Structure 1
Amino acid sequence: MDPYYAGIIIPFVLTLLVRGTTKGKKRGLAVKVGGEPGYAIRNSRFTSPVETAWEGITTLAELFEHACRKNSEKNLLGTRKFIAREEEVSNGKSFEKLHLGNYQWLSYGQAFESVCSFSSGLVKLGHRKGERAAIFADTCEEWFIAVQACFRRNVTVVTIYASLGEEALCYSFNETEVTTVICGYKELKKLENISGQIDSVKRIICMDDEFKSDTSLVSESSWSITSFSDVEKLGCQNPIEPNLPLSSDVAVVMYTSGSTGMPKGVMMTHGNILATVSAVMAIIPGLGYCDVYLAYLPMAHILELVAETLIPAIGGSIGYGSPLTLTDASNKIKRGTKGDATELRPTLMAAVPAILDRVRDGVRKKIDAKGGLAKKLFDLAYSRKLSAINGSWFGAWGLESLFWDLLVFRKVRAVLGGHIRFILSGGAPLSSDTQRFINICLGAPIGQGYGLTETCAGGTFSEYDDNSVGRVGAPLPCSVIKLVDWREGGYLTSDYPKPRGEIVIGGPNVTLGYFKNEDKTNEVYKVDEKGMRWFYTGDVGQFHPNGCLEIIDRKKDIVKLQHGEYVSLGKVEAALVASPYVDNIMLHAESYYNYCVALVVASQASLEAWASNKGIKYSDFSDLCEMENTLKEVSSSLLKAAKAGRLEKFEMPAKIKLLYEPWTPETGLVTAALKLKRELIRKTYSTDLTQLYSS
């Protein structure tokens, strides 16, 4: 079946089957595990944690080879043809715009040949057994080929975010003693700046041939620098038999993006990652050869690594893009040309909540700008479908739902190519407002999951037809989830009717620990008498009667105010980000005061539209953010979001500071997964925070 029609028909059939009910709320999704301290549950459809979904396959190298031999002629990896780079001037500023063409594809068979050649080329280049290799680049076809080639030689891959700062870079390279670095030209220039601080690196493999024209770099470097294509050619001419790993061998040392302090390297075995991939495959219905996945998140993030391991296993295709070229309206897309989603027309996507928030805000801005009949029609269609999702018999069901999809929401779906049938969200809490909006407008379920780098992204995952919001689903088949008492915070597993406590995850997906950090490993990893490995997450959750987990707090994010009230920073931020004027927000609280304050990164498009509607004159966006009228408007919007999120009065920030400069991984204030770096933000805006408390 064509993915587009599958995307319409499958949800339509499921809707008829569950009409008038919310299936995920009523069905028992988990069963209690006896004999465990605290309150432990597992997925009700499996009697024990799943380790692999493929008989005889125990490593990622075996899984990839199996997929390539089974689907040798089918398209696997797609990259857009680069046509031109242009400069566009707007408001006196110059912006780089890209003109990109069609996707050009490698088949499974061709990709496997490239992997084998690159694998052999690594050896001929001088990479020895037992040495580690680092991949330091944006997500792309070469990233995928390189990591699979390393798996084929049992080379442990150190993954490092392309946006990581120099200090963290030096720390990661030196701690793991990598000898080979595979990177892009942009990253090579970063390495050049810190070359005197990296001790173990001997060779660089550059994905772009652009470095060859940089004669000073090539001649003065203390490393041997070779192009990616040359390593492939070398291996093709000198093939070497693979050195396949065991399930217990370390496949990846994945450095977290360091939301607090220096990044930590999480050691993942082939078995760990395979367990999560197998579990996700077991619970998402209908995955198969028709699916096309849009890859644009950092592959150095566990969510993306798992996704790009899963797609070949189901016989699907992967098309590469980037956050800056994702849609027709993206910052780097030349006006009048197609973004990645429009060109690829994917059926599957992974996204962090910040990306989905931007999609929601973008759609709302367009609808509000149109106004009139178009806005009234959209609001009517939205309310009708929302009633149906909430279980009302008076909502839009069956043919009426299909009518609204074709009349109103088809244009919204075109933003992401028009064929999306499933979105995986992870990395941070997704607001209920955004989840509902995406469900209705894109007509696709969002599989909201919960997991960490330390558990290979495995933990819980919502069912395909679970329409509830604010929850992260039942345990994945690879995991056992338990809650343990956190008495200091007042969360107990004996709480009725919903047991509460710190979330602890056990199962074959739980990793070995932190690289060269035994103390921290022993602090948060425990092995019980049965040999099961457990990870203590620091997150606080509660179980609903059907076994779905809800994240309600984080131990590190809890701040006690002057009068004894506890404030969960992350929970409040997740509620307030629903304001259309908020691009990002960080709540700040101290025990010396009885109120909170907030730093708010303003949404330029929303505020400028409001100012235009009100006839407000200003010189530039920074000037608009300083105006008292603007501050009142944003504060009012935050109050509305707080009420919708059912926040207590003391949780609402009493004072805010509007910021006009966005927080990006490049500024270092958020991680590559767009999580706040609280301590760095606090230091950067310490003067503003002091003024908020003193004013």
Structure 2
Amino acid sequence: MSAYFVGLLVPLVFTLLFRNAKSGKKRGLPVDVGGEPGYAIRNRRFTSPVKSAWEGISTLAELFEQLCKQHQDKHLLGTRKLISRETEVTADGRSFEKVHLGDYEWLTYGKTFEVVCSFASGLAQLGHKREERAAIFADTREEWFIALQACFRRNITVVTIYASLGEKALCHSLNETEVTTVICGHKELKKIIDISGQLDTLKRVICMDDSTLCNASLAEGGGSWTITSFSDVEKLGRENPVDADLPLSADIAVIMYTSGSTGLPKGVMMTHGNVLATVSAVMTIVPGLGKVQDVYLAYLPMAHILELAAENVVAAIGGAIGYGSPLTLTDTSSRIKRGTKGDASALVPTVMTAVPAILDRVRDGVRKKVEAKGGLAKKLFDLAYARRLSAINGSWFGAWGLEILLWNFLVFRKVRAILGGRIRFLLSGGAPLSGDTQRFINICLGAPIVQGYGLTESCAGGTFSEYDDTSVGRVGAPLPCSFIKLINWPEGGYLTSDKPMPRGEIVIGGPNVTVGYFKNEEKTNEVYKVDERGMRWFYTGDIGQFHADGCLEIIDRKKDIVKLQHGEYLSLGKVEAALIVSPYVDNIMLHANPFHNYCVALVVASQLAVEDWALKQGIAFIDFSDLCQKEETVKEVHASLVKAAKQARLEKFEIPAKIKLLPDAWTPETGLVTAALKIKRDVIRKTFSEDLARLYT
């Protein structure tokens, strides 16, 4: 049976699962967990939390060694070779670097283990002691994974730092943890050099890139520390091997610094047992993992717990990890040379993770292309989409059987090709995913897209949608490593006695709940509690409700609720999620003032959609910034927000009365969003304080 034919069958099987899924199926069960009164749910399959899926394995270091012996000759880590770089200049004089990348070159499990052991020995030979901490400060790449596993073999605690972190937060993270070794890329090395005079404990830097580049950067003005290339450290260890010094389950594996959406980042301490519990739990939930060699496209920041956990899961099933980046992901990505392949086309992955912002862009991109083609192509797409949607919603008059294969071949094949054409499973996490986007990706990719809910403080573990759950807007039942409890929040009007569903603040308990915040006992004691049974709980600040089948839905966040002048409670996050579906919106931040009875919004306009509308209307403009200031443009975008609000059945006070259109995107580099693309409310509020003040006048 050909791979192409198998690919055609996948969506058929998926749709049949949709048809046969029972809405009343119990996915989570109520349970008495003691401690503070609340409404608690556990996974229906397990009576007690899962700690490890492997007998005798209690740390990530032990697990990795076992996996490398078990899958010695399989591909593990893949990286694309750089063929060329070139600069393209646009009509308005702006220049962009474009790259031409080759095929993936692979390291097997066996070879990766050799490199890990050599790098671990090299760290010891450089003088890095077990009690000292090492930081990994780089974009996601195979050296990141190798450095992490090498540190684990020496029982060295790894401090993870986002590559996009600003100088102030970077200094804070490195100094607070007293890091002595930084492992980074060439780009990040320049940042280290810029702040070298402010670093108190740094002794050595290991550069992942070519030593010539690293030494050139150092010559520009380095600090009082040594610099060594990644390959030289690996060579040093290979020639001078040192025995492993393996950790215990309770040892701190990672201090993960959050992206700092509210002030300076906090360091979350994770033990080997914490991360292993999440990895083990996911293994029990996703069907078919390990049955074939899945191929995973890694491009999210590995300093984010979602990506770190995902890569460890893929390794745990004997899968292959191919590295890419958000800027080279598809054939049309901004850094890919025209006519060459993006990462997805080159790798042809079967499994991916994504944050909602990226999936929203995929949805918007497909819709814009369909609209631009118009005519018969648009009619066919709309018909195919409607037929598939009808079937997924349970109608026998929707597309079934061979008709699914027909629509896949005629319509959805090109959409699936954007991500390589072989995706069989896609996980969305990091923020709530809109129901519209979830269903759109379901239909166009012909594969389940599931939502997970978790936090850095719970090692990404919390809840996880099951593959046959056809609902949207929910985040599934508890993972087998977690108990989920709702507790009353009377101030916000959320009670576990609410009908028809219990509601309250979400509290996560289980072996995946982390130790606390590094050197921040006050904040740790505020949000972490241990009950009389010894179970550790984390108070998330998120508000949820349990459906009758035991699945959780996130409905609010305590910090995002503002009480307006007339006493109405406004949930900023909920409204933003409803309004961002407007085709004119690239990003949005709602703002509410308790001294007014209405809200306003800062809207990052979608340049392609807004300019397309302006051209059709015959509106003249100098540039995009000029277009965003025009009254008719503001009126059009505001009207689209009102339409989206009505479709989401928002109250009148939840619809922004005034908006400010912004032409420039919010990126991690601007400091206005986190590396996971979550908006930084406080930073945005301060940056656009004058614009917000004018909206209230």
TM-score surpassing 0.5? yes
Residues 556-584 of structure 1, C-alpha deviations (whole Å, 9 max, x = no match): 00001111111100000111110111100
**Counterpart in the other structure of 1:202:** 203
Change (3 A) 1:3 1:648: farther
Cα deviation for residue 2 of structure 1 reads: 7.5
Q: Tell me whether 1:405 sits opposite 2:403 in the alignment.
A: no
Task: Return the alpha-carbon distance in structure 2 between the equivalents of residues 218 and 116 of structure 1.
Answer: 33
8 Å CA contact 2:14–2:446 kept in 1: the answer is no
Q: Which amino acid aligns with 2:42?
A: R
Structure 1 residue 586 corresponds to structure 2 residue 589: yes
Contact (CA 8 Å) 1:255, 1:264: kept in 2 or not? Answer: yes
Structure 2: how far apart are the matches of 1:2 and 1:217? 55
Match of 1:572 in 2: 575
Q: Distance in 1 between matches of 2:215 and 2:223?
A: 14
- AA partner of residue 147 (structure 1): L
> What secondary structure sits across from 2:174 in the alignment?
helix
> Equivalents in 1 of 2:612, 2:6: separation in Å?
38
Work out which of the residue numbers 245, 248, 251 in structure 1 matches 2:250.
Answer: 248
Task: Name the counterpart of 1:540.
Answer: 543
Distance between the aligned counterparts of 1:554 and 1:7, measured in 2?
A: 40
TM-score, normalised to structure 2, is: 0.98
Q: Is residue 2:688 matched to residue 1:685?
A: yes
Shift of 1:193: 0.8
Counterpart for residue 26 of structure 1? 24
Where do residues 377-456 of structure 1 align in structure 2 (5 Å cutoff)? 377-456=380-459
Task: Say if 1:122 and 1:231, in contact at 8 Å, map to a contact too.
Answer: yes
Unaligned 5+ runs, structure 1: none
Match of 2:266 among 264, 267, 279: 264
For 1:650 and 1:677, the matched residues in 2 are separated by 23
The answer to whether residue 44 in structure 2 is matched with residue 41 in structure 1 is no
Aligned equivalents of 1:656, 1:3: Cα separation in 2: 50
Deviation at 1:211, TM superposition (A): 2.9
1:380-426 CA distance string (max 9 Å, x none): 10011111111111111222122111110010011111111111100
Q: How far apart, in 1, do the equivalents of 2:223 and 2:559 lie?
A: 43
Is the Cα contact below 8 Å between 1:22 and 1:390 reproduced in 2? no
* Cα distance in structure 2, aligned partners of 1:161 and 1:3: 38
Instruction: Tell me what 1:153 maps to.
Output: 154
- Cα distance in 2 for partners of 1:218, 1:318 equals 35
- Residue 103 of structure 1 pairs with residue 104 of structure 2: yes
The answer to whether residue 225 in structure 2 is matched with residue 223 in structure 1 is yes
What do the CA deviations read for 1:633-684 (whole angstroms, capped 9, x no partner)? Answer: 1111111211222211110101000000100000000000000100000000
Structure-2 separation of matches of 1:53 and 1:272: 13
1:116 aligned onto 2:103 = no
Any idea what SS the aligned residue of 2:657 has?
strand
Q: Name the CA shift for 1:491/1:235 in 2 (closer, same or farther; >3 Å).
A: same
Quote the offset at 1:14 in angstroms. Answer: 4.5
- AA aligned to 1:367 is V
CA RMSD of aligned residues (A): 1.3
Q: Is the 8 A contact 1:205 1:227 kept in 2?
A: yes
Question: Are the aligned partners of 2:181 and 2:206 in contact in 1 as well (CA < 8 Å)?
Answer: yes
Residue 310 of structure 1 aligns to a residue in which SS? Answer: helix
Distance 1:426 1:18 in 2: 22
Which amino acid counterpart does residue 27 of structure 1 have in structure 2? K
Q: C-alpha separation between the residues in 1 aligned to 2:127 and 2:216?
A: 24
What does 1:296-445 correspond to in 2, within 5 Å?
296-445=299-448
Change (3 A) 1:295 1:215: closer
SS of the residue 1:179 aligns to: strand
Alpha-carbon distance in structure 1 between the residues aligned to 2:10 and 2:685: 47
My pick for the range that moved more, 536-545 or 604-613, is 604-613
Aligned to 2:521: 518
Partner of 2:236: 234
Task: Give distance in 1, aligned partners of 2:578 and 2:289.
Answer: 33
Partners of 1:598 and 1:561 in 2: CA distance: 15
Q: Report the equivalent of 2:132.
A: 131
Greater Cα offset, 393-402 or 587-596: 393-402
The CA distance in 2 between the partners of 1:290 and 1:74, in whole Å, is 9
Q: Is 1:172 matched with 2:170?
A: no
CA contact (8 A) 1:247 1:270 kept: yes
Per-residue CA deviations over 1:184-228 (Å, capped at 9, x if unaligned) read 011110011111111000000000124345175278531100000
In 1, distance between residues paired with 2:461 and 2:217?
A: 46
Residue equivalent to 2:190: 189
Q: How do residues 504-515 of structure 1 correspond to structure 2 at under 5 angstroms? A: 504-515=507-518
Query: After the TM superposition, which of the residue ranges 57-66 and 533-542 deviates more from structure 2?
Result: 57-66
**Relative to structure 1, is the Cα distance of residues 18 and 448 closer, same or farther in structure 2, using a 3 angstrom cutoff?**
closer
Q: In structure 2, how many angstroms separate the alpha carbons of the residues matched to 1:518 and 1:684?
A: 31
Aligned-residue offset at 1:9? 2.8
- Spell out, residue by residue over 1:288-310, the C-alpha distance to the aligned partner (whole angstroms, 9 max, x if none): 24210000000000000001101
- Partner of 1:448, secondary structure, is strand
Q: What amino acid maps onto 2:131 in structure 1?
A: G
Identity value in percent: 75
Contact 1:4 1:418 in 2 (8 A): no
Q: Distance in 2 between matches of 1:9 and 1:460?
A: 29
Q: SS of the counterpart of 1:402?
A: helix
Q: Which amino acid aligns with 2:32?
A: G
Paired AA for residue 87 in structure 1: T
Q: Which amino acid aligns with 2:604?
A: V
Matched, 1:73 2:76: no
1:615: how far off? 2.1
CA deviations 1:495-527 (Å, max 9, x no partner) are 111000000000000000000000000000000
Q: Tell me: CA distance 1:669–1:218, structure 2 relative to 1, closer, same or farther (3 Å).
A: closer
For 2:696 and 2:534, the matched residues in 1 are separated by 51
- The 2-side partners of 1:17 and 1:423 are apart by 16
Residue number in structure 2 paired with 1:61: 61
> Structure 1 residues 35 and 144 mapped into 2: Cα distance closer, same or farther (>3 Å)?
closer
Moved more, 210-219 or 133-142: 210-219
Between the two proteins, the alignment pairs up a number of residues equal to 692
1:15 Cα offset (Å): 3.1
3-state SS of the aligned residue for 2:309?
A: helix
Q: Secondary structure, in 3 states, of the residue corresponding to 2:668?
A: coil
Secondary structure at the residue paired with 1:26? coil
**Counterpart of 1:653 in 2: which secondary structure?**
coil
Q: Hey, what's the Cα distance between the residues in 2 that align with 1:184 and 1:488?
A: 47
Cα distance in 2 between the residues matched to 1:619 and 1:16: 52
- For 2:306 and 2:642, locate their aligned partners in 1 and report how far apart those are by CA, in whole Å: 33
Structure 2 CA distance for aligned equivalents of residues 136 and 423 of structure 1: 27
Which residue matches 1:531?
534
Whether the 8 Å contact between 2:122 and 2:234 is mirrored in structure 1 is yes
Provide Cα deviations, 1:511-550, integer angstroms capped at 9, x if missing partner: 0000000000000000000000000000000000000100
Aligned to 1:622: 625
Q: Which moved more, 1:213-222 or 1:305-314?
A: 213-222
Tell whether 2:659 aligns with 1:656. Answer: yes
3-state DSSP of counterpart to 2:471:
coil
Seen in structure 2, the aligned counterparts of structure 1 residues 332 and 540 have a Cα distance that, compared at 3 Å, is: same
Paired with 1:265 and 1:62, the residues of 2 have a C-alpha distance of 25
8 Å Cα contact 1:15/1:398 also seen in 2: no
Tell me the SS of whatever aligns to 2:330: coil
Q: Which runs of 5+ in 2 are unaligned?
A: none
Distance 1:439 1:84, change over 3 A: same
**Structure 1 Cα separation of the partners of residues 17 and 343 of structure 2:** 34
